[in-house]
Amino acid sequence: MKQRPQRLQAGDTVGIIAPASPISRERLAMALPVLERLGLRYVLADSVVDGDAHYLAKSDEVRVEELHAMFKNPEIKAIICARGGYGTGRLLDKIDYPLIEDNPKIFWGYSDITALHTVFNEYANLVTFHGDMLGDMAREDFSEVSERMFLQLMQPWELFYDNTKSPLQTVSPGVARGELAGGNLTLLASTIGSKYEIDTRGKLLVLEDIEESPLRVDRMLNQLRLARKFENIAGIIIGDFKYSQRLAPQDSTFDAVFNDYFSELGVPVVKGFNIGHCEPHFALPLGVDAILNADERTLMILPGVE
């Protein structure tokens, strides 16, 4: 069983890091009041407010040092990522995983941060959280529903998802219990063939992505299939797949792609979850047990904090 981090309390300090791309000062200023409303204090890593003017917030070495420093600091009770973008995959062979396992704390983010969720779950034995980052909090459409998802960090809630939250559809029937894993499909595919690839055996695999056409999603799912990532899997939770119409082949849809890969898989598969680059965004802990009921179209998730 993976380590659940300690819950947050009002007045606790969280560390903000940018392990991927930088966030603008304007968006940062718009997002920080959300943390204040939650009763949290914060400390910003240098790269968050002084990021380089390109797709990486800082060098790999600086971003890893800041990540390690936040885990080492006993005053920091949780780590929240500023945004995704690109860059976390470059850090995987530079991280001190025993350090993280010895200093378990809340780690929160999604999208490009998926690479860190996978390795923290598997190499640091740590439950992590797939949820909105500061870049999302700065959006005009950031909702009260999404903000409330942070409250799961302050008390050990069981989470429940059904059709009242979004229209769900069964792709493959059945009921299964397993550990939640996964996240952004592009990031999962990018590590196939490396020692950092995801272990899906017995897992409930969460999949989401943005700005990828059905053709590209097909290619990445085929990559996971050829890597045997759908063998011995417990089930699949299909989140949001947001894309530009200009990227979509006229004769292909996501429904057809998901049916091709999953309708005969023999394990429960449900699509339509508001998980990913969407609003509202249902944040969830990765590394905890959950029950996916594709017949009743429900998902029950154990708490992510102690």
- Please name the fold of domain 159-301: Glucose Oxidase; domain 1 (3.50.30)
The mean per-residue pLDDT over the stretch 118-140 comes to: 96
The tokens describing 21, both together, are 């791309």
- What is the spatial order of strands in the sheet that 169-172 belongs to? 159-161, 298-301, 289-293, 175-184, 203-210, 235-242, 269-271, 169-172
Answer yes or no: is pLDDT of 190 > 90. yes
Task: Categorize the per-residue pLDDT at 260 as very low, low, confident or very high, splitting at 50, 70 and 90.
Answer: very high
pLDDT at position 249 is 53
Phi, psi at 78, each rounded to 5°: -155, 155
Inform me whether the pLDDT recorded for 19 exceeds 80: yes
Question: Given a cut of 80, is residue 133 above it in pLDDT?
Answer: yes
pLDDT of residue 4: 98
pLDDT at 20: 96
* pLDDT at position 245: 56
Supply the CATH classification number for the domain 13-153. 3.40.50.10740
**Which string of DSSP letters, residue by residue, matches 248-265?**
S-TT--HHHHHHHHHTTS
Cα end-to-end distance, the chain, whole Å: 13
Domain spans of the chain, in order of start = 13-153, 159-301
The 10s digit of each residue's pLDDT in 219-251 is 999 999 999 999 999 999 999 998 755 555 544
Active site residues: 111, 208, 277
pLDDT tens-digit readout, 162-175: 999 999 999 999 99
pLDDT at 128: 98
Residue type, 263: S
Asked if the domains 13-153 and 159-301 are classified in one and the same CATH topology, the answer is: no
The whole-angstrom separation of Cα 294 and Cα 297 is: 5
Does the pLDDT value for residue 154 go beyond 60? yes
Percent of the chain with pLDDT over 90: 91
pLDDT at 264: 96
- Average of per-residue pLDDT values in the chain: 95
Report yes or no: 281 and 161 within 8 Å, Cβ to Cβ.
no
More confident residue, 18 or 243: 18
Distance CA 267, CA 228 (A): 15
Q: What is the pLDDT of residue 251?
A: 47
